[in-house]
C-alpha cells in the first residue's frame, strides 16, 4: 500500500507541473554570485585620516569649558596654571614657543601641552591631582583594514614618575575608554634619553607609533591623550604632543554572500518539503543570507526583480517574504562593507500565494 505522504507529494508535484506548464515565465536573467570591488593597487597606499601640528588657533570646545583644536575636545579637573607662569597650564592647552622659556614644538611654533600641577589656583578637592584629556573628533575607521597612529612627544619615563601618560581609544562616543599605551610606565615606550639634559626623556628623539588595527572597521572612533595623576608622592613631569597623524590602509576586499534559504526545493509554510530542480515557494518564507567580510559587513540589501524590498544592517541577515504574490521573481541580495565593496547573489524563485 502506498503511504499517504507519498500520495500527497505525488499529487502536489502533479499540480505544480500543471501550473508551471501553463505559466508564462518572464525573462529574468540570473547571474549568480558577483563581486564588485573598488579599483585598487596590489598594495593600497595608506590614506591620511587625521593630521595636525596644532598650528591652528584653539577655540572653545563643544561644552565651552576649555579651548581645543577646532573639532577636538579638552576635558579635565584642573582650571589653573603654575604659579607666575600663565602659559604652564595644568590642563591641555596650546603652548606657543614665543610664550614660554623653551622651544617645545616639534614642528612649527605650537604644540599641545599639559604641565604638572603645583596646586596653584585649583579647587581644594582637586589640589595637585590631574585627570586631563585631549580628545580627537569622531573618526571613521570602517573603510580600512589597518590603522596606525603616529605622533611626536616629550615625556619623562623614569619608573619613579607618578603620573600616567595614557593613550586611549573609545568606540562609543567617549562613554568608555580602552588604554592602548602608557608612555611612562610601559617599557616599550621608554625611548630616547640620549639628548643632553633630557636623560630618561623621549625628547622628540623617536616618534610614537601605535597600531590601532584592532579598531579597523569601526565607524565611530575617538583617540585621547589622558594625563592622569592621583596625588601620591613622587616625581611628575610635563607632557608635550605634536604632529599627530592617523593613517589607514583602505579595504579593497569585497565581502562574500550567499542565499542560504530558499534553496532549490519546494517550500510550503516556510519549510523545505522536497528538493526540486528550481526554487518554488508556496506561502511565506524567511529569506536567510550568510554574509561575511574581512572587516565587517555594513548591510545586506534584498531585491525582487531589481527593486529593494528590505535592508538589514546586522546579522543574522534575514527578510520575511510574506506578501501574496504569483509568478517568477529574481531574488537578489547585495552585501556591502564599510569601504563600499560589494558582493551579490541572485536566484530565480517561483512564488505562489
**CA quadruple 31, 34, 40, 41: dihedral sign:** negative
| Count of other CB atoms within 10 angstroms of residue 193 | 15
Buried b (16+ CB within 10 A) or exposed e, 325-340: eeebbbbbbbbbbbbe
Q: What is the pLDDT of residue 110?
A: 97
Contact 86, 146 (CB under 8 A): no
**Rg over CA atoms, the chain:** 31
Q: What is the pLDDT of residue 101?
A: 81
CA atoms within 13 A on the CB side of 287: 29
- Residue 29 three-state SS: coil
Q: How far apart are CA 254 and CA 249, in angstroms?
A: 15
- Mean pLDDT of each 10-residue bin along the chain, 353 residues long: 45 47 49 44 80 97 95 98 96 94 92 97 97 98 96 93 97 98 96 91 97 96 98 93 98 96 97 97 98 95 98 97 97 96 98 96
Residue 32's pLDDT is 53
CATH class of segment(s) 47-250 = mainly beta
Beta strand 178-182 pairing with 164-170: antiparallel
Strand pairing report for 222-229 and 271-275? unpaired
Is the N-terminal amide bond of 262 cis, ω within 30° of 0? yes
Please answer whether residues 224 and 135 qualify as being in contact, where contact means their C-beta atoms are separated by less than 8 angstroms. Answer: yes
E strands in 136-255: 144-156, 164-170, 178-182, 201-203, 208-211, 222-229, 239-250
> Do β-strands 279-282 and 342-352 pair in parallel, antiparallel, or remain unpaired?
parallel
CA distances, 45 to each of 42, 48, 248, 249, 321 (Å): 9, 10, 8, 6, 43
DSSP 71: T
Domain ranges (residues) in the chain: 4-39+253-352, 47-250
Query: Percentages helix, strand, coil for the chain, rounded to the nearest 5?
Result: 5, 45, 45
261 neighbors 345 (Cβ within 8 angstroms): no
Q: What is the CATH code for 4-39+253-352?
A: 2.60.40.10
- Other C-beta atoms closer than 10 Å to the C-beta of 13 total 14
Q: What integer pLDDT is reported at residue 159 of this predicted model? A: 81
From the list 126, 184, 177, 124, the residue with the least C-alpha distance to 153 is 184
Q: How far apart are CA 14 and CA 281, in angstroms?
A: 16
Q: On the CB side of 198, how many CA atoms lie within 13 Å of its CA?
A: 17
**Rounded Cα–Cα distance for residues 212 and 254 (Å):** 22
Q: Contact 338/298 with Cβ under 8 angstroms?
A: yes
CA-closest candidate to residue 220, choices 114, 135, 162: 135
Amino acid at each position: 500500500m502506498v503511504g499517504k505522504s507519498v500520495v500527497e507529494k505525488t499529487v502536489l508535484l502533479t499540480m505544480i507541473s500543471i501550473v508551471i506548464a501553463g505559466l508564462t515565465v518572464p525573462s529574468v536573467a540570473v547571474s549568480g554570485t558577483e563581486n564588485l570591488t573598488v579599483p585598487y593597487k596590489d598594495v593600497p597606499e595608506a590614506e591620511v585620516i587625521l593630521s595636525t601640528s596644532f598650528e591652528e588657533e584653539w577655540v572653545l570646545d563643544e561644552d565651552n569649558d576649555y579651548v581645543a583644536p577646532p573639532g577636538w575636545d579638552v576635558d579635565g579637573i584642573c582650571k589653573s596654571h603654575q604659579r607666575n607662569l600663565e602659559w604652564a597650564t595644568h590642563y591641555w592647552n596650546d603652548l606657543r614657543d614665543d610664550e614660554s622659556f623653551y622651544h617645545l614644538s616639534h614642528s612649527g611654533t605650537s604644540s599641545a601641552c599639559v604641565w604638572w600641577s603645583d596646586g596653584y589656583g585649583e579647587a581644594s578637592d582637586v589640589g595637585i591631582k590631574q585627570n586631563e584629556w585631549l580628545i580627537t573628533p569622531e573618526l571613521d575607521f570602517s573603510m580600512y583594514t589597518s590603522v596606525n597612529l603616529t605622533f611626536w612627544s616629550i615625556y619623562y619615563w623614569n619608573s619613579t614618575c607618578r603620573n600616567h601618560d595614557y593613550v586611549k581609544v573609545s568606540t562609543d562616543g567617549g562613554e568608555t575608554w580602552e588604554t592602548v599605551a602608557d608612555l611612562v610606565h610601559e617599557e616599550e615606550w621608554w625611548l630616547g634619553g640620549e639628548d643632553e639634559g633630557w636623560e630618561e626623556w623621549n625628547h622628540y628623539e623617536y616618534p610614537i607609533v601605535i597600531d590601532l588595527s584592532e579598531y579597523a572597521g569601526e565607524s565611530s572612533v575617538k583617540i585621547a591623550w589622558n594625563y592622569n595623576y592621583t596625588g601620591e608622592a613622587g616625581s611628575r613631569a610635563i607632557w608635550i604632543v605634536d604632529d599627530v597623524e592617523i593613517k589607514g590602509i583602505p579595504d579593497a576586499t569585497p565581502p562574500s554572500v550567499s542565499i542560504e534559504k530558499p534553496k532549490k526545493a519546494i517550500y510550503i509554510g516556510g519549510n523545505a518539503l522536497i528538493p526540486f530542480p528550481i526554487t518554488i515557494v508556496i506561502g511565506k518564507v524567511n529569506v536567510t543570507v550568510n554574509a561575511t567580510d574581512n572587516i565587517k559587513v555594513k548591510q545586506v540589501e534584498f531585491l525582487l526583480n531589481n527593486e529593494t524590498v528590505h535592508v538589514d544592517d546586522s546579522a543574522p541577515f534575514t527578510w520575511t517574504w510574506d506578501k501574496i504574490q504569483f509568478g517568477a521573481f529574481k531574488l537578489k541580495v547585495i552585501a556591502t562593507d564599510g569601504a563600499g565593496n560589494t558582493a551579490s547573489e541572485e536566484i530565480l524563485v517561483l512564488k505562489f500565494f
